[in-house]
Structure 1
Amino acid sequence: MKADSERAKAHEGNTLKEKIWRVIFLSDSGSSRWFDITLLILIAASVLVVMLESVESVAAQHARLLHGLEWGFTILFTIEYALRIWVVRQKKKYIFSFFGIVDLLSILPTFIDFILAGSGHFIIVRILRMLRMFRILKMAEHMGDAHVLINAIKASRPKIAVFIFSLMAIVCIEGTLMYIIESGVNDGFNNIPQAVYWSIVTITTVGYGDIAPVTILGKMLASVMMLTGFAIIAVPTGIVSAELNREVKKVSMDHRHCEGCGHDGHDTKALHCKMCGHTL
């Protein structure tokens, strides 16, 4: 995520370290924008390589190529990670930050995989290889407006928590009702956890079809749950959308103060104060 202008002032200078900091952490020049674009392409390509390695036929036929590409990406990401640690002032804060951990997870599995190769720890090696998919999270770090969405989700947490708790209560109650109605005549509802599983699948409108009610009352309750599911899907979307709209408005607001009336919060392209008409 890019730093603001105040942080930029703290790093002003012409030394190599400061120039690298500006390229990596700011987006005020062509070189920094090209850096972001290049990294996004590398991240997407590295994730594609991880996916292709899981396809046995492709992995067997192009093992050497995929292995070489993986090490190439790992070396590049390692250099990037080392440069980030070198140029930041608060190194500990970056290392233990969300994106610092993501950057580390994007390179660590390959090195551990190399150390454990041939040691017989097949399950551990397999898990580590899949952990390389964390690289996809690096994309958010290089997308300028990603922080707007992240802030909107953070602001939505209390409301979403209430929604999830309410949803859990609904599926538990409806699952228990289905168990009472269907048990004894339907093997798919032979216990409450199984009935709750069916309730979750139904209310989210997934509908695997592995379990289905057979009684009239059970089908009626299932119909109500399906219709309820459509309404439930819209709730978290509406919550996040409302917060996202607020965040977008915050970003789009200009904090210039009018010399005539002192009002702020103008549009970024405004030439005159919206309250008194004074030239900004």
Structure 2
Amino acid sequence: MRNRNEAPAAILANVEVFDYLKEKVGERKTRTEAYYDLLDKSLAGFVSPFLRRQDYDLSPCQCHVTVSDLASEWHWHRATVRSFLDTLEALGQLERTRLAKSVVITMPLRTGTPAMPDSGQEEADFATRIQETLYDWIIGRATSFDVGKSCGQIIHQTLTEIAGRDSRIYPDNPSGTTSAQTVRSEERLRGIVLECIAHAALRRVLRKSRFDDGSPLVQFFRLDLGGELAAFIEASKELAELVIEGKPDGTEFGTDEETKRLESLRKPFLSLLAKAQEES
């Protein structure tokens, strides 16, 4: 069986592992060197010469060795090799498949292409940055020009980061492929920005109503609706439609008198919305 080609890999190890691998005087080969040797052998799919006639197919990040071979190569006693392997296995740094006169060692390595980033989390983080930038415009601390410029800078910075990351993840991709990915990313980011701006505009306009009197709506809830929350929920839906669409759908308020009553509650409704927004 031939050795496998080496592949780039990231080692999964914690502080406890490296504490154990500290060099001790008196050993011909240090524990760190022995550990690295196991990594090299596993990445290469190493098989001891004595075992190459055996029919055993290795999976990635495995090597097929004997304790005697390792002891000879590391200049350790065989009992020391066994103890070393026992400890690494207990620390989760290797797994062993014990055969009659040999052992297959599997190292926990991440090989090949790096893990893809979480695009959903990236978009959420990007949206948060845009929303934080727009907040100064919502409360009147920044102009539309200044905020627009800042949002454009955030888009440019994010696209630069994405392009750099993609070039590392797909080093062999043609430039045309990378460019297409960048275009798709730019379209999505600009869509997120437009969504955030639309929401910010609504919040800015709504904020003007925060000092209006909302008590008529409270009285309507107590007197007209008898304090029934379910009825108030339906009335609030009608009021929301009145605010957004310019008219209620008429499900509960069909008469002219009821419609006028609903329209009289428009500003108190906006007042409650604005106050809820300020408190959120």
Q: Same fold (TM over 0.5)?
A: no
**Bigger Rg over Cα:** 2
Of Structure 1 and Structure 2, which has the larger fraction of its residues in strand? 2
Specify which structure has the higher proportion of helix: 1
TM-score (norm 2): 0.25
